[in-house]
Amino acid sequence: MNKRETIISYLEYRGIDELPVADRKLVEEAVAAASGAYAPYSHFMVGAAILLDDGTVVRGANVENAAFPSGSCAEKTALSYTVANFQGRKSVTIAIAAKSGGKLTDAPVPPCGNCRQMLIEEEQRLGSPIKVILAGASGIIVLENCQSLMPLSFTRSNLVK
């Protein structure tokens, strides 16, 4: 038997003002995207903003549905739009923010497992890391790649015969 350990390192900022300007602008885009979410059931509005390698920013918001599994997460929405409409462009960074009660959540909100899986797949498809910024009112977490969100993830290498 072998015992192994996975360590995840990340940067933690006390607020948006500590972020580099480009990251701050992307967080502001994610917060703006959250304001456009359709969340009549949970009232939990999530926004995602993806920065592409040419400077384009793609936004997505969660869209709920009365048949709960039929909704779509903000990250999934932004990522799907990016893949469909910006072929040849690489995602460089994704910022994620959530609002509840009309204001930014206190703690940063990480993506759900499904969105983590999609982000890891995109990172592998592109062959380059995608920085992740999780923004909350009381702090911001920055990870250098999506793989850090789910270290023992299921990937295409698991499908190889």
Q: Tokens 């580099």 map to which residue? A: 20
Instruction: Kindly provide the b/e burial profile for residues 50-84, where b requires at least 16 CB atoms within 10 angstroms of the residue's own CB.
Output: bbbeeeebbbbbbbbeeeeeebbbbbbbbbeebee
Is 75 an annotated catalytic residue?
Answer: yes
**Nearest one of 86, 153, 161, 92 to 118, comparing CA atoms:** 153
Catalytic residue among 64, 75, 122, 123: 75
Q: How far is CA 1 from CA 4, 152, 153, in A?
A: 10, 18, 21
Reduce the DSSP state of residue 99 to 3 states and report it: strand
* CA gap 13, 139 in Å, rounded: 6
Angle between helices 113-126 and 74-85 (to 10 degrees): 30
Q: Which residues are catalytic?
A: 75
